[in-house]
């Protein structure tokens, strides 16, 4: 199915719960939002502001005719699961899930799928089992697919253009989500055609990232690719700092 058709389908599905679902107590419709970053994250706050603005343009104002209940996990798995359970327990008309890391816990606690979920920033909703297909999502979840895994080869192509002398590349990934495995698989498949050796660096917490990147950078000729994930977004400052502080030659960050 073409991307435009998928987005059109999503737009209709996203509007449905707000306009036709059972009337909320006190006259306000309730919307849950599960964020993968901390509430102090500037980009996360910017996305939340854009979400509120978009709703307001459609006639829905937080505190007037809707209530937005947001939970911020800061990339912590335990906090994510707890926040997902709290939002489902509130029985909102719809929940906005940001990223694959938030979808897994929400799908687990939503049980029979009585609460509709709209996801964003998810690279492979079909492979992850969130929807049956892009043409007919099925179930209670629908949303926006971020990109296809083939972009992993494009990342490697760009990295090689920026630093032609690299012979090694490490892909930072979240191994707990299907996107982390799929994106690294695309990089690994393309590695031989660019004459580089690919390896994976798992991102579970800041300590693991620091140790793994430091060890990788100890040998020259290396470059980093940060795959799309909530953990990569949460720890982006640390990753950039580690790359900048590395003493190895020919280091490049994509």
Number of domain units in the chain: 2
Print the domain residue range for 173.
Answer: 151-253
Compute the average pLDDT of residues 26-36.
89
Q: Say yes or no to pLDDT of 253 above 60.
A: no
Q: Say yes or no to pLDDT of 247 above 80.
A: no
Residue pLDDT, tens place only, 96-141: 999 888 998 999 888 666 799 999 988 888 888 889 988 888 888 9
| Residue 156 and residue 105 share a domain | no
| Residue 158 and residue 111 share a domain | no
Which band of pLDDT confidence, cut at 50, 70 and 90, is reported for residue 228?
Answer: confident
Cβ-contact 191, 197 below 8 angstroms: yes
Compute the average pLDDT of residues 242-253.
60
| Residue 164 and residue 120 share a domain | no
| Residue 88 and residue 23 share a domain | yes
Q: Say yes or no to pLDDT of 64 above 70.
A: yes
Q: Which residues have a Cβ under 8 Å from the Cβ of 3 and sit 6 or more positions away?
A: 145
| Residue 171 and residue 236 share a domain | yes
Last residue of a domain, one of 102, 129, 145: 145
Last residue of a domain, one of 145, 174, 194: 145
Q: Say yes or no to pLDDT of 21 above 80.
A: no
- The CATH number covering residue 225 comes to 3.40.50.2300
The DSSP code sequence of 73-128 is: -TT-HHHHHHHHHHHHHT--SEEEEESHHHHHHHHHHTTTT-S-EEEEEES-TTTT
Q: Say yes or no to pLDDT of 8 above 60.
A: no
pLDDT of residue 127: 81
| Residue 130 and residue 38 share a domain | yes
Compute the average pLDDT of residues 40-54.
94
Query: Encoding tokens for residue 169?
Result: 């590349």
Q: Say yes or no to pLDDT of 23 above 50.
A: no
| Residue 86 and residue 14 share a domain | yes
pLDDT of residue 231: 83
| Residue 158 and residue 89 share a domain | no
| Signed CA dihedral, 201, 189, 233, 127: sign only | negative
CA distance to 11, 34, 125, 240, per residue, from 85 (Å): 26, 10, 21, 33
| Residue 125 and residue 22 share a domain | yes
Share of the chain above pLDDT 90, in %: 51
Residue pLDDT, tens place only, 77-102: 899 999 999 999 999 999 999 988 89
CA distance 47 to 34: 12
Instruction: State the chain's mean pLDDT as an integer.
Output: 83
**pTM, full prediction:** 0.70
| Residue 132 and residue 9 share a domain | yes
| Residue 64 and residue 190 share a domain | no
Residue pLDDT, tens place only, 158-206: 999 999 999 999 999 988 887 888 889 999 999 999 999 999 999 888 8
Last residue of a domain, one of 111, 145, 179: 145
| Residue 162 and residue 99 share a domain | no
Helix (H) or strand (E) holding 69, with range, is strand 66-72
């Amino acid at each position: 199915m073409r991307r435009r058709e998928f987005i059109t389908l999503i737009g209709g599905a996203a509007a449905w719960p707000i306009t036709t679902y059972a009337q909320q107590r006190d006259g306000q419709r309730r919307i849950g939002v599960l964020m993968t970053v901390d509430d102090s994250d500037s980009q996360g706050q910017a996305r939340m502001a854009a979400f509120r603005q978009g709703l307001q343009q459609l006639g829905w104002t937080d505190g007037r005719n809707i209530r937005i209940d947001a939970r911020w996990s800061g990339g912590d798995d335990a906090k994510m699961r707890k926040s997902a359970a709290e939002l489902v327990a509130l029985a909102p008309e719809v929940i906005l899930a940001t990223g694959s890391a938030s979808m897994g816990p929400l799908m687990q606690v939503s049980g029979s799928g009585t609460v509709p979920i709209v996801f964003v920033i998810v690279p492979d909703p079909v492979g992850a089992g969130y929807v049956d297909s892009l043409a007919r999502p099925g179930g209670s979840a629908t949303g926006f697919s971020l990109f296809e895994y083939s972009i992993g080869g494009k990342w490697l192509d760009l990295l090689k253009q920026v630093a032609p002398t690299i012979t090694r590349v490490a892909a930072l990934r979240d191994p707990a989500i299907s996107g982390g495995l799929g994106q690294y698989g695309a990089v690994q498949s393309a590695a031989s055609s660019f004459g580089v050796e690919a390896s994976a660096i798992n991102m579970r917490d800041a300590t693991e990232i620091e140790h793994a990147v430091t060890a990788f950078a100890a040998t020259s000729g290396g470059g980093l690719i940060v795959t799309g994930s909530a953990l990569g977004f949460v720890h982006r400052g640390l990753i950039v700092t580690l790359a900048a502080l590395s003493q190895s030659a020919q280091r490049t960050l994509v």
